[in-house]
């Protein structure tokens, strides 16, 4: 992939890839701020800002209207590590995209009314997703079990509804000017636009934005877990559910790819171990999944499922542990490992055909290392060996490294 890069005087990092097979252009801006950067008593701010950024900026009262008139679309998402914004627009109207994104990086149209509107939206989302939805509070239960000190101990949506309800305009402004800065962002531009035109428009619209004093991140380090942590709750849900998690390495660690492959061996496709053995053959679960959090700091490998009727949570847990013990005691076969690697490679290749996916991925890789890492991902997965998987499984799937949550149906 031909990647062009430039760092502007204000610290903004620009990455670019031209794709003339489309008549569209994508702009993806990732800000190096997520839920892990919040104060423990002011959580949910990163997610609140995802909404506030669409409430109007200093020179543009309505973000959506001009973009829609230009034939464009947009969206955003937040997680514990980053906040990501993107838009797509026809190449003939591409300057509108630069104008819109630069103005809200410069400054939002802060007002009590805008804050009240977006606060109400976020609070309603919190209620719907976490309070009024079956299993919606799992993140609020599992995270504090897994993390005692690191800010991953609360979900992106926030630890408590009152934190957003009580957010003041001054606190919101302070958060913006601390993190929303050109020197804390990466702009990725892909699609049917030349490198020269991309530089010209970035220079015109983004270069005048002043750099800001972004604080150096100093997060508390999580202490090593030395004993299994368990919790049982009863809720008004249709089925019992089992949630297990094991501490794993960070996104930057060399073993990250081994963890990702282990989760795929356990649960990616109908022939994966948990799906084939525990869902299809033994019928102990109606559904079962394994995945990694993929966080920049040390994360979690999750296993979650709903036992079939008549199967207790204890029986379900024992069946999962038997599969994990097999990974610890034996080596993954060459054919099974190759199948998982092939599936990842095809996903990677097909995913990067789309110009918008390329913009999102380039921004992420440039933020966490360098954009060129996008071309090394397949090799990183290809280099994982059965011996490495065996070592990682033995180190990880230990009782003292585990978290177990029994989510039981209430007996009404």
Q: Could you list the pLDDT tens digit for every one of the 412 residues in the chain?
A: 999 999 999 999 999 999 999 999 999 999 999 999 999 999 999 999 889 999 899 999 999 999 999 999 999 999 999 999 999 999 999 999 999 999 999 999 999 998 999 999 999 999 999 999 999 999 999 999 999 999 999 999 999 999 999 999 999 999 999 999 999 999 999 999 999 999 999 999 999 999 999 999 999 999 999 999 999 999 999 999 999 999 999 999 999 999 999 999 999 989 999 999 999 999 999 999 999 999 999 999 999 999 999 999 999 999 999 999 999 999 999 999 999 999 999 998 888 889 999 999 999 999 999 999 999 999 999 999 999 999 999 999 999 999 999 999 998 6
* 197/272 same-domain check: no
* 183/243 same-domain check: no
403, 145 Cβ separation under 8 angstroms: yes
Beta strands per DSSP E along 48-93:
73-78, 83-90
The CATH number linked to 88 is 3.30.830.10
pTM: 0.94
The answer to whether residue 178 is domain-embedded is: yes
Question: What residues make up the domain containing 183?
Answer: 4-207
The answer to whether residue 224 is domain-embedded is: no
* 257/398 same-domain check: yes
CB neighbour burial string for 10-46, b if at least 16 within 10 angstroms, e if fewer: bbbbbbbbbbeebebbbbbbbbbbbbbbbeeebbbbb
The answer to whether residue 199 is domain-embedded is: yes
**What is the pLDDT, as a whole number, of residue 412?**
65
* 66/173 same-domain check: yes
The answer to whether residue 222 is domain-embedded is: no
Q: Please state the domain count of the chain.
A: 2
The answer to whether residue 216 is domain-embedded is: no
The answer to whether residue 215 is domain-embedded is: no
* 265/297 same-domain check: yes
* 113/23 same-domain check: yes
* 159/287 same-domain check: no
């Amino acid at each position: 992939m031909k990647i062009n890069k430039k760092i502007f005087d204000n610290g903004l990092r620009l990455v670019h890839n031209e794709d003339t097979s489309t008549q569209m252009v994508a702009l993806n801006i990732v800000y190096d701020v997520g839920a892990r950067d919040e104060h423990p008593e002011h959580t949910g701010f990163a997610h609140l800002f995802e909404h506030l950024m669409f409430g109007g900026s200093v020179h543009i009262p309505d973000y959506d209207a001009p973009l829609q008139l230009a034939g464009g679309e947009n969206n955003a998402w937040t997680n514990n590590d980053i906040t990501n914004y993107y838009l797509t627009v026809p190449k003939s109207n591409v300057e509108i995209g630069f104008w819109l994104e630069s103005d809200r990086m410069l400054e939002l149209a802060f007002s009590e009314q805008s804050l009240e509107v977006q606060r109400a939206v976020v609070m309603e989302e919190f209620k719907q997703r976490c309070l009024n939805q079956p299993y919606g509070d799992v993140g609020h239960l599992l995270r504090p079990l897994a993390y005692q000190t690191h800010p991953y101990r609360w979900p992106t949506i926030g630890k408590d509804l009152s934190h957003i309800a009580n957010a003041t305009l001054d606190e919101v402004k302070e958060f913006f000017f601390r993190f929303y800065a050109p020197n804390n962002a990466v702009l990725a531009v892909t699609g049917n636009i030349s490198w020269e035109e991309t530089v010209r428009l970035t220079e015109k619209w983004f270069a005048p934005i002043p750099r800001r004093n972004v604080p150096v991140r100093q997060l508390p380090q999580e202490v090593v877990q030395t004993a299994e942590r368990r919790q049982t709750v009863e809720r008004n849900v249709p089925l019992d559910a089992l949630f297990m998690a094991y501490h794993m390495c960070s996104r930057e660690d060399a073993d990250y790819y081994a963890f990702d492959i282990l989760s795929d061996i356990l649960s990616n496709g109908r022939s994966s171990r948990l799906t084939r053995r525990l869902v299809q053959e033994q019928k102990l679960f109606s559904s079962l999944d394994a995945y990694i959090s993929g966080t920049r700091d040390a994360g979690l490998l999750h296993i979650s499922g709903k036992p079939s009727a008549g199967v207790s949570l204890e029986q379900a847990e024992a069946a999962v542990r038997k599969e994990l013990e097999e990974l610890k005691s034996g080596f993954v076969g060459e054919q099974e490992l190759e199948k998982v690697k092939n599936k990842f490679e095809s996903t990677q290749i097909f995913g990067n055909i789309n110009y918008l996916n390329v913009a999102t991925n380039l921004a992420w890789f440039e933020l966490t290392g360098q954009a060129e890492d996008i071309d090394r991902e397949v090799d990183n997965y290809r280099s994982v060996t059965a011996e490495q998987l065996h070592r990682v499984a033995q180190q990880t799937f230990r009782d003292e490294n585990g978290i177990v949550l029994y989510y039981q149906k209430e007996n009404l």
